[in-house]
Amino acid sequence: MATTMATQTQVHVFEVVPSLDVIAKVLLMDEGAVLDFLKDSKRAPKSKNHQIDLSKFNSAWKKLNTLENELKPISDKDLSVELHEALIALPRRLMLDPGFWVWLSLFPLREYVLARWAGGNEATEDAQFARFHCTASVGSIGQTNASARLYWASEIVFGESGSYKEVSSVIGIQDLHKTLFSNKISLDAKLLLATARTLSTDYREKVAREVIKMLGVIRPTTMFSSLSDADLQILLSDLKKRAEVLFPGKAKSVGGTSNMPTNTDKSKKNNSAI
């Protein structure tokens, strides 16, 4: 892991993925100390070097940092797009490696992670620590890690629709995002996006949790992939109506006004192979 500077850019070179069992030991180390520590690690480098330019992402989050060293949740949807665009050309295999997200959050994006989740201070609480850690489960890899959650929200939306128009449906409501990615429906991009689209409208936490619970019940006997978009929407709307009967009440006020324009018409590059 080395960092080189180019004119008006910040290029980070990813060389080795730290194994998950070293996270507690390296969280407060500087990069040089971690590199020395990793020399004794049994895990070898996974692939060739990958250069990552995070200049636009860093400029974007600093512009949105309206509070002193503390980013608001509303920043997630814009920064999700920015990070996705910065990483879109990297190999798919790398995006599925939890160690990569640990490295990205610990070093290149450390300042952002602390601003978003720890008020600019070093993370010590469990909830803050989780934003550096990354689960090894593919289905929930985008659940808590501060960098992975941004990337995978846009990857799912862009991969399904070819635009970023619905990113806010997936990550704009923090409770909904956490619920979606802690459930097995996160393994199905089409289902996850359709569910987020349905539940983010007139959002109610108890209703959302009940709908996702219902999906879990019917998932073993339902081939969601065989359903048309219209049929899937009908199914989800029906489940939502049932949940609303169980949990009547008014929708929760969520979201806010973004300070940045959302890109919607950019062509997706193909992930390169390792």
| DSSP state, residue 39 | T
Helix (H, G, I), strand (E, B) or coil at 53: strand
Give the chain's residues under pLDDT 50: 1-7, 16-22, 24-28, 37-38, 40-47, 123, 253-274
193-242, pLDDT tens digit by residue?
999 999 999 999 999 999 999 999 998 899 998 999 999 999 999 999 99
Domain boundaries, the chain: 17-39+62-171, 173-252
Report d(CA 157, CA 162) in Å as an integer.
7
pLDDT at residue number 180: 92
pLDDT at residue number 36: 55
pLDDT at residue number 32: 55
Opening angle at CA 72, ends 196 and 198, nearest 5: 10
pLDDT at residue number 232: 96
pLDDT at residue number 126: 53
pLDDT at residue number 28: 47
Which helix or strand (DSSP H or E) is residue 210 part of?
helix 205-218
pLDDT at residue number 261: 42
Q: C-alpha distances in angstroms, 138 versus 97, 98, 134, 141, 221?
A: 8, 9, 10, 5, 22
Chain center to CA of 96: 12
